[in-house]
Amino acid sequence: MSTTKIAIFASGKGSNAQQIIRHFKGKTAYEIALIVSSRKDAGVLDIAKNEGIPSIVLDKNNFFSSDDYVQFLKDLNIDFIILAGFLWKIPVGLIHAYPQKIVNIHPALLPNYGGKGMYGHFVHEAVINAREKQSGITIHFVDELYDHGAVIFQATCDITEQDTPDTLAEKIHQLEHQHFPAIIEKVLAGVNSN
């Protein structure tokens, strides 16, 4: 069986990307072949360098106005795309080129607290301000709408009176690091079995 080549798209620190890289290390059926970022100062690019994984920083105009990057990914034989804190909307051309092969993680229990502008700290502030008793993570396929594709997996955490957006963010990050890599592998195993 040929190696499944994975690209990770990220705009931030890259703690999820780091966990995913660690998870697939030594698994010869999979290769984290590329790190793609929307920001030249993203911490994920340092992780790519430390891990010896090729990386690129996207040109925004090109990303949204052409399919150049679709061709770039296809030329690299990328089979699957993981969004791990990637803040731009995925253009329809990329979605059509990778049907049911783009997965995203959202730091809340979709369909609540999702959509444009709902990312990072904004999500946790909204959840705390709404005095929710629970929050969690959602891993889902990506479609043409923000945070809207078919849900693959959700995990929850309790919220106490003492929780703040920062303490909730920490709980969510722990859930992400605990579940995202293994869920990706399950999805990939399903994709490969088709």
DSSP strand pairing (102-106 vs 134-141):
antiparallel
Q: Is 176 in the site for ligand GRF (CB under 6 A)?
A: yes
Please report, as a single letter, which amino acid is at residue 60: K
Binding residues for ligand GRF, total number by CB under 6 A: 14
Distance of alpha carbon 39 from alpha carbon 24, whole angstroms: 24
3-state secondary structure of 105: strand
Q: Is 168 in the site for ligand GRF (CB under 6 A)?
A: no
In terms of CB distance, is 21 or 84 closer to ligand GRF? 84
Distance of alpha carbon 87 from alpha carbon 84, whole angstroms: 9
H or E, element range at 4: strand 4-10
In terms of CB distance, is 183 or 192 closer to ligand GRF? 183
Residue 137 CB, nearest approach to ligand GRF (Å): 6
Segment 53 to 92, residues that bind ligand GRF, using CB under 6 A: 84-85
Segment 97 to 126, residues that bind ligand GRF, using CB under 6 A: 105-107, 120
Residue 34 CB, nearest approach to ligand GRF (Å): 16
Query: What would the x/- binding string for ligand GRF be over residues 11 to 50, using CB under 6 A?
Result: -xxxxxx---------------------------------
Question: Quick one: which segment of 8-16, 51-59, 125-133, 155-163 binds ligand GRF (CB under 6 A)?
Answer: 8-16
Choosing from 23, 106, 177, 179, which is the catalytic residue? 106
Residue 106 annotated to the active site: yes
Q: Is 136 in the site for ligand GRF (CB under 6 A)?
A: no
Distance of alpha carbon 107 from alpha carbon 112, whole angstroms: 11
**Alpha helix positions (H), the chain:** 15-24, 43-51, 60-65, 68-75, 92-97, 121-129, 165-193
Distance of alpha carbon 73 from alpha carbon 59, whole angstroms: 14
Distance of alpha carbon 192 from alpha carbon 29, whole angstroms: 10
Please report, as ranges, the residues that interact with ligand GRF according to CB under 6 A: 10, 12-17, 84-85, 105-107, 120, 176
Q: Return the active site residues.
A: 106
